[in-house]
């Protein structure tokens, strides 16, 4: 998978630089997200594996994506098809979104709790995490009853495990060592 990321990075950087220069970050994020989903489609995977020429693949992609892509997005597809890189579109999207979030000083944090958190709790988590990371925080919340109680927060490389299950695991590890 890291191979795909290495291949995707220069394409994502070029698209990001172009989008910033033209003030089209949101539009490019939407185009790359759509194109990435098209690549993940089973039928499209079969077409990519079929060995069509680059021109035919570009034509197929443009017809499927329709007006979701502007002329520059279509040019990116053409370059990717010519270089046999259409399968890395989901990785290009991920790298592009990472660059966009860095540029906008935004980070997404996964908040996993034992019970559904109310708005006040979410606001407190977002505020404290935002101060700690010096970023605007977007929370992705989910519930995992196996945590027993508490919360686990993942934001980039940062993991805060304040769950009862995590505390019991750490206690068990300490007692066993």
Q: What's the pLDDT band for 91 if we cut at 50, 70, 90?
A: very high
Q: Give the separation between CA 17 and CA 70, rounded to whole angstroms.
A: 16
- Relative to beta strand 136-143, strand 106-113 is parallel
pLDDT, tens digit (0-9, with 9 covering 90-100), for 130-156: 999 888 888 999 998 888 888 999 988
Residue 116 has pLDDT above 60, yes or no: yes
| Residue 15, pLDDT above cutoff 70 | yes
pLDDT more than 90, % of the chain = 41
Q: How many helical (H) and strand (E) elements, i.e. helices and strands, does the chain have?
A: 8, 4
How far is residue 126 from each of residues 107, 117, 119, 131, measured CA to CA in Å?
10, 12, 10, 9
């Amino acid at each position: 998978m890291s191979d795909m990321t290495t291949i995707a990075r220069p394409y994502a950087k070029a698209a990001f630089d172009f989008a910033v220069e033209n003030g089209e970050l949101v539009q490019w994020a939407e185009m790359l997200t759509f194109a990435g989903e098209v690549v993940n489609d089973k039928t499209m995977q079969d077409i990519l594996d079929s060995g069509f020429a680059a021109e035919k693949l570009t034509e197929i992609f443009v017809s499927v994506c329709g007006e979701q892509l502007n002329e520059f997005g279509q040019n990116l597809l053409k370059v990717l098809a010519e270089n046999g890189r259409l399968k890395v579109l989901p990785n290009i999207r991920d790298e592009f979104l990472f660059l966009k979030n860095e540029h906008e000083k935004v980070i997404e944090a996964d908040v996993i709790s034992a019970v559904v958190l109310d708005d006040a709790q979410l606001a407190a988590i977002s505020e404290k995490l935002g101060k700690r990371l010096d970023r605007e925080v977007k929370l992705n919340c989910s519930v995992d009853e196996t945590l027993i109680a508490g919360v686990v927060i993942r934001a980039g490389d940062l993991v805060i495990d304040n769950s009862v299950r995590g505390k019991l695991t750490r206690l068990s590890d300490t007692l066993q060592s």
